Amino acid sequence: MKRCVWLGCLALVAVAALSGAALAAKAPGDVHVALVVKDLTNRFFVEMKWGGEAAGKQHGIKVTVLAPEKYAVDNQIRIMEDLIQKKVDAIVIVPIDGAGIVSGIERANKARIPVFNLNTLATGGEVIGFAGIDHVQLGRIQGQWAVDKLKGKGNVVILEGTTGASSAIERQQGVTEVLKKAPGVKVLASTTAKYNRQQAMKVMEDLLTRFPEIDMVLCANDAMALGAKEAIKDARRTMGVVGIDAIPETLEAIQKGEVAGTVDSNGFDQGFVAVDLTAKYLLKDQKPPKDTLVGSGMATVITKENALAFEKSKTEKFKKFGIKVD
Nearest to 136 by CA among 113, 158, 166: 166
In angstroms, the CA 100 to CA 2 distance is: 56
Residue of 148, 213, 234, 291 that binds other proteins (CB under 8 A): 234
Instruction: Determine if 219 is a binding residue for other proteins (CB under 8 A).
Output: no
| Residue 288 Cβ vs other proteins, minimum distance, rounded to whole Å | 25
Instruction: Give kind and range of the element (H or E) at residue 190.
Output: strand 185-192
Among the candidate windows 14-22, 177-185, 282-290, 301-309, which touches other proteins by CB under 8 A?
A: 14-22
Residue 107 sits in the site that holds other proteins (CB under 8 A): yes
Which of 36-44, 52-60, 135-143, 297-305 is the region at the interface with other proteins (rule: CB under 8 A)? 36-44
Q: Cα 56 from chain centroid?
A: 18
252 lies in the site for other proteins, by CB under 8 A: yes
Q: Give the integer Cα–Cα distance in Å for 71 and 95.
A: 11
Task: State yes or no: residue 23 binds other proteins (CB under 8 A).
Answer: yes
In sequence order, what are the residues at sequence separation of 6 or more whose Cβ sits closer than 8 angstroms to the Cβ of residue 167? 119, 120, 135, 161, 220
Q: Is 55 exposed, middle or buried (0-12, 13-18, 19+ CB in 10 A)?
A: buried
Distance CA 98, CA 104 (A): 11
Residue 22 Cβ, how far from other proteins at the closest point, in Å?
5
Binding to other proteins (CB under 8 A): which residues in 124-143? none
Per CB under 8 A, 323 contacts other proteins: no
Q: Which of 66, 150, 187, 323 binds other proteins (CB under 8 A)?
A: 66
Say which DSSP state 150 is in.
T
Contact predicate 142/175, CB 8 Å: yes
**Does residue 176 bind other proteins (CB under 8 A)?**
no
Stretch that binds other proteins, among 52-60, 172-180, 222-230, 288-296 (CB under 8 A): 222-230
226 touches other proteins (CB under 8 A): yes
Residue 147 in contact with residue 178, Cβ under 8 Å? yes
Q: Does residue 203 interact with other proteins by CB under 8 A?
A: yes
Please state the closest distance from residue 121 (CB atom) to other proteins, in A: 12
Least separation in angstroms between CB 104 and other proteins:
9
Query: Which DSSP helix (H) or strand (E) runs through 130?
Result: strand 129-132
Q: With respect to other proteins, which residue has the nearer C-beta, 22 or 27?
A: 22
Report the residue from 81, 109, 121, 186 that binds other proteins according to the rule CB under 8 A: 81
Near other proteins in 257-316, by CB under 8 A: none
Give min distance, CB of 100 to other proteins, in A: 3
Structural contact between residues 155 and 131, judged by C-beta atoms closer than 8 angstroms: no
Intra-chain end-to-end CA distance of the chain, in Å = 61
**Cα dihedral 141→144→148→154 (10° resolution):** 130
Tell the smallest beta-carbon distance from residue 275 to other proteins (Å).
17
Rounded to a whole number of angstroms, the minimum distance from the CB of residue 61 to other proteins is 16
Q: Which of residues 150-169 bind other proteins (CB under 8 A)?
A: 163-164
12 binds other proteins, rule: CB under 8 A: no
- The smaller minimum CB distance to other proteins, of residues 41 and 300, is found at 41
Give just the sign of the alpha carbon dihedral 46, 47, 52, 54.
positive
Cα separation of 174 and 305, whole Å?
Answer: 24
Q: Among 78, 153, 287, 319, which residue interacts with other proteins (rule: CB under 8 A)? A: 78
- 103, 109, 137, 306: residue in contact with other proteins (rule CB under 8 A): 103
